[in-house]
Amino acid sequence: MNFKNDFADGLYEALNGQLDKSRLVLMVEKPKFEYMGDLAFPCFELAKLFRKSPHSIAIEIADKIQSPVFEKIEAVSGYVNVFLDKKKVSSEVIKHVLSLKENYGAINLGNDQVITIDFSSPNIAKPFSMGHLRSTVIGNALALIAEKCSYRPVRINHLGDWGTQFGKLIVAYKKWGDEGKVIQHPIKELLVLYVKFHEEAEKDICLDDEARGWFKKLEDGDKEAHSLWEWFREESLKEFSKIYELMGINFDSYHGEAFYNDKMERVVELLKEMNLLEESEGAQVVPLEELPPCLIKKRDGTTLYATRDLAAAIYRQETYHFVKSLYVVGNEQTLHFKQLFAVLDKMGCQWQEGMTHVPFGMMLKDGKKMSTRKGKVVLLEEVLKDAIALALKDIKQKNPNLVSKEEVARQVGTGAVIFHDLKNYRLNDIEFSLEDMLRFEGETGPYVQYTHARTSSLLRKGQFKETMELSSSFDIEAWPIITSLMAFPEVIKRAMEEYDPSQIAKYVIELSRAFNKYYGSVRILDDEDDKQARLSIVYAVKIVLKEGLRLLGIGAPEEM
């Protein structure tokens, strides 16, 4: 059910196949104003091809196109404007949505092939801050959208569980740590120790040498160092899992940096065999065209992120045989990923063509990047709990008899936080503001959730039954809803192709507005003759809003 494609088919016939159908689909526009029609085709590009004026071409095309769902076709100023038969189209769209339900909008782009998505990836022994929210919710939404487009997503949490910061933590714990405090509040206490280390290191430069020494011990398999590292990792994962559970996010793999320790030497050997490694000031690098050389081994023989990520990419291809591989990582890592993909290309790994860095802007506080090192962080768990508490307070005031208050408050609170992020185009920076995030009106998650709850309430009050025969009598006031419902599959396709969940967030806001305007102008439950047709529109909106929210990783309460 794609009227844009129907129009393109008619254009293809009218032009005797002289233009490719896929090109015609791209040329079809949605007019700026309603009086211009529902679809438009500009003929200016064709003037050279046919050696006629755009207006003459538009007149010829308009005379040749016919369709049972086109009410009127006219040629105006070089455009072919199409007006859809609103009653017929409304009936078709509603029947289509109601027949497919939550499967409406599904597209076969992936053909059941694997797509790996590397996202969230917090650092062990550091707090899960608002800075980690972006990768987590963008990655989770992309996994859900990919699934809707018939890919098989493999969700990977590439934990930051290795590196010199562990040397720093071990030194800090041995000097100032308290086992009891760490057991009671692991992340908070480890953050205190991490910040203290950096404060003290500014006064005592020997501390950095001690930290490097302890990390060397860890790399060499020292029992005490490894035992502390394992403990920090275990406690951190317990804390992280609480946050993931609160947000309803899960992963297929928690293989972090440490997992690839024994897989890097193979990469170095492969690079040597292919004569890709060169020495540069004692270090081992892969020279690259139009990019700085990729550092593989430092002068002291230690490996780097690039070595680890090369090992990870090869492991993932061999394990999952992905057709696409996404890295949802901040835009400050753009150069790193360009180098990574370029090295894989030089190694002859053709599958690297399916690898994409999905960058995003920063979460700022007072216009500045949040810094764990200086202790300037806002903890995500605290923000989520504040949002849930605020939602619960709101529910108790407005709907004290609501069943499952706590669960609804969790859906609304976490939904407010997630939606606040995903409604923004991912490359834009976001200023952290608890006040803006927790507003329950305007372009917010709770506004969309409330609209969904309103549709559920109307269906209950109207005793809507799917088994009833659908009427073809639809209010003209419902047309903006119909056009919005028609757009859903295209929005999903665009969100997948552009790796941009904000397309869906903006869409559910637009559909909610169209519905609430309809709700304000039409008495849905009055007049028994039209009630069934109106409730079928309400049900279609409910289905699509719920599915749109689900694709963003947000729940849709039946009552609020």
CATH (domain of 60): 3.30.1360.70
The answer to whether residue 13 sits within a structural domain is yes
Residue entry with tokens 């963003």: 552
Q: What is the pLDDT of residue 520?
A: 95
Give residues with Cβ within 8 angstroms of 460, minimum separation 6.
none
- Return d(Cα 470, Cα 455) in angstroms, integer: 18
Dihedral through CA 22, CA 27, CA 28, CA 33, nearest 10?
160
pLDDT tens-place string over residues 60-111: 999 999 899 999 999 999 999 999 999 999 999 999 999 999 999 999 999 9
The answer to whether residue 22 sits within a structural domain is yes
Q: What is the pLDDT of residue 312?
A: 98
For residue 538, the one-letter residue type is V
Q: In 2-78, at which residue ranges do the beta strands (DSSP E only) sit?
A: 39-42, 70-76
With beta carbons less than 8 A apart as the criterion, state whether 289 and 343 touch: no
pLDDT tens-place string over residues 101-152: 999 999 999 999 999 999 999 998 888 888 899 999 999 999 999 999 999 9
Between β-strands 355-358 and 324-328, what pairing exists: parallel, antiparallel or unpaired?
parallel
Q: What is the pTM of this model?
A: 0.93
| Exposed / middle / buried, residue 109 (Cβ in 10 Å: 0-12, 13-18, 19+) | middle
The answer to whether residue 445 sits within a structural domain is no
Number of independent structural domains in the chain? 1
**Positions of the chain with pLDDT under 50:** none
The answer to whether residue 33 sits within a structural domain is yes
Q: What is the pLDDT of residue 559?
A: 95
**Closest Cα to residue 532, out of 472, 471, 475, 486?**
471
**Closest Cα to residue 384, out of 409, 404, 365, 403?**
409
The answer to whether residue 70 sits within a structural domain is yes
Q: How far is CA 154 from CA 96, 112, 242, 243, in A?
A: 31, 12, 21, 20
The answer to whether residue 63 sits within a structural domain is yes
Q: What is the pLDDT of residue 185?
A: 87
The answer to whether residue 450 sits within a structural domain is no
Q: What is the pLDDT of residue 508?
A: 98
Residue numbers of the domain that contains 74:
3-84
Q: What is the pLDDT of residue 163?
A: 85
303 forms beta bridges with 297
